[in-house]
Amino acid sequence: IGIGTFIRSCLGAGLVSTMMKIARREWPGRNVPRARVISQYRALQLLCILVQLGDESECQTMLDDLLKQDVLNICLQCMQHQLCVMRLLSISALRSLCQVYLGEKVPSSLAAAIIEGVCLYTLQGPDHVVNQLLNPVTAWQSTMFSEMIERTQVTRESAPIFYAVVQDTAVQVAHELLFTSLSPKTTMFCYEILKERPQVLDLLLNCAILDRPSCFPESNVASTASKTLVLLLQWPSHIVPGVALSVNEAFKESECDVVFKAIGIFTSRPNWAEMLIEVWMNVQEEDVDAMERLVFRPCRGVTIELTIARRFSIEGTEKGMMANFLRNRGIRRASILRLIATITHAATSCGTNAQIESVLHIAYLGCCKGGKYLEDCTTDEEVMRSFEYEYEVFRSYLLENAKPSKPVVSTETPFVIASQRVLGPTALVRLLAVLAQRKTLSPIQTLSKLPNGLSSSTSLQHIQQITHPEVIRRIIRLSQMRIVERMDRGRTRARAKGDPDETNFACSTFMSVAELAAALVALDEYTHGVYSAEIRGARKQLVIALGNASQMAYSLGHFKRALHLASGATAAAENIAVEEGLTPAIIEKNEGRVAQANAALRIHQ
């Protein structure tokens, strides 16, 4: 829209400081005249509208002005306000600020406080909103709530929907705060958040198991909370977990150490394994048929305007809402598998043997192939299954918030969660590798009683089945098949020349192949060659996948990323057995990529 001459004049005359004085004003007592509260509401609401109107420079200038005026602490205070409309305002304001790169400017201590605050709001439940909107003394707040959905009457049936909409926005704030800060500082930033307030992990896990409100079935709360957990434990974009890199060891180790420390905080939380299992089981036990009935029925007692607005709030059709629902189920599953795979790389601090054994069945279930790739689907049923089982998260804040004044560039730090198809085997093989590293994999077969601390969601028979040598061999063969499938998918994306985001997506796809291949290599090493025949070929695929990822990164101008990936490929090729079938040409090509990336870095540094 842009900031016009009149608005620019108002800003120059001190509009921000004047509105902030109104917004921060406090009146003692519980019977504050509504006009004063409404003036506070409108003052902060106006600023949060204006902060998104200008070009990038104007938005950043206004954001800086608001931060100097202590807008974040005002939002945190409003979150504790006795009136539900002021809590709504605090959530809406924070979301607006996140959309103008708040994550790049907020210190980790304040980010931690915001994430904790919005999670606590999300977990409050709708009673405070329902009671106040139906109480004659405080019902005047419905005017502001109704602005979310025009011409809506507040009734006992519709009031919970207002809370559900704000609840959805609240957990989105936590996600966007981290998503908009995606940069080389992310790993340290996230670690500092966890160090400052480790309880945010428990809060996000509790948000991830919230039941979907029947009044607002398109709620994204649980899936957004799951993605936020992944963001907090995300690896640097140039690192493939499990791959040893030979370049700039000190720098690489310092970044990995930060991730390991973050993992240590996660696994020190009480009942972390049970909570991961509960998130997974919450998805498994959700009634998809009941959800479909909710989507396709009108809402009893709610005005037509609200029903229509709700129906069209996601993608415009009931089928769109069902697709979003199924996609969110897939995101939750993939997020849990991503978290399980991540924590296994801190083998000494990723929990007890019983905790590792407790999540085996989750990773085992995650290995199922639920559907076709979306482009291969020919029926509505296949499309819906693809949304649930094959969807993968790939987001670029630069692309999603592109403006005419700023050319779109492919970010070097996309937010990625691969699909269940590849993360299921990766998580399971990594768990097996950790058990083998601890020398407890084979002894599971001789156990006669439940290990102390084993989750009630599994059984001795179950973990003995999953860790049986013949089942492990089947898992390895399945993983080898998924590697080939995934590699082909990466090559398909790589052919989309001229589309930087497709190239970036291809890079991430090859990196996920490399992670699975590296997991197989680790399993081979820790089992001392027991499964060498089945794992043969994984080292070759590891080298090829890393080389392909390096080439994608180089073509995008991500030279540091390209160098680390190519160096990993050359390191993986050292002393590789002849039986792997890796040709000298591939080794030479990766050595050339190392030299090419080094030369580019010297020029562009």
Q: Report the pLDDT value the prediction gives residue 23, as an integer from 0 to 100.
A: 92
- The answer to whether 590 and 548 are in contact (CB under 8 A) is no
State the pTM of this model: 0.93
Q: Report the pLDDT value the prediction gives residue 2, as an integer from 0 to 100.
A: 63
User: What is the per-residue DSSP string for 382-404?
Assistant: HHHHHHHHT--EEE-HHHHT-BT
Percentage of the chain exceeding pLDDT 90: 66
Q: Report the pLDDT value the prediction gives residue 315, as an integer from 0 to 100.
A: 43
Q: List the chain domain ranges.
A: 1-150+159-172, 182-401, 468-604
- Confidence check: pLDDT of 10 > 70: yes
Those residues whose C-beta lies under 8 Å from the C-beta of residue 273, and which sit 6 or more positions away, are 351, 355, 358, 359, 455
Burial of 529 (0-12, 13-18, 19+ CB in 10 A): exposed
Higher pLDDT, 471 or 26: 471
- Confidence check: pLDDT of 312 > 50: no
CA dihedral of residues 591, 597, 599, 604 (deg, nearest 10): 180
- CA dist 512 and 514 (Å) reads 5
Percentage of the chain exceeding pLDDT 70: 90
Collapse the DSSP code of 451 into the 3-class scheme (helix H, G, I; strand E, B; otherwise coil) and give the result. Answer: coil
Q: At what angle do helices 108-124 and 199-208 cross, to 10 degrees?
A: 40
pLDDT digits (tens, 9 = 90+) for 336-374: 999 999 999 987 778 899 999 999 999 999 998 777 888
What CATH number is given for 468-604 in this structure?
A: 1.25.40
Please give the distance of CA 125 from its chain centroid, rounded to a whole number.
Answer: 23
Q: Report the pLDDT value the prediction gives residue 323, as an integer from 0 to 100.
A: 85
Choose the weakest-confidence range: 124-138, 234-248, 426-440, 544-558: 234-248
Type of residue numbered 72? L
Q: Report the pLDDT value the prediction gives residue 149, as an integer from 0 to 100.
A: 60
Nearest to 506 by CA among 452, 455, 549, 442: 549
- CA dist 415 and 182 (Å) reads 8
- CA dist 584 and 250 (Å) reads 30
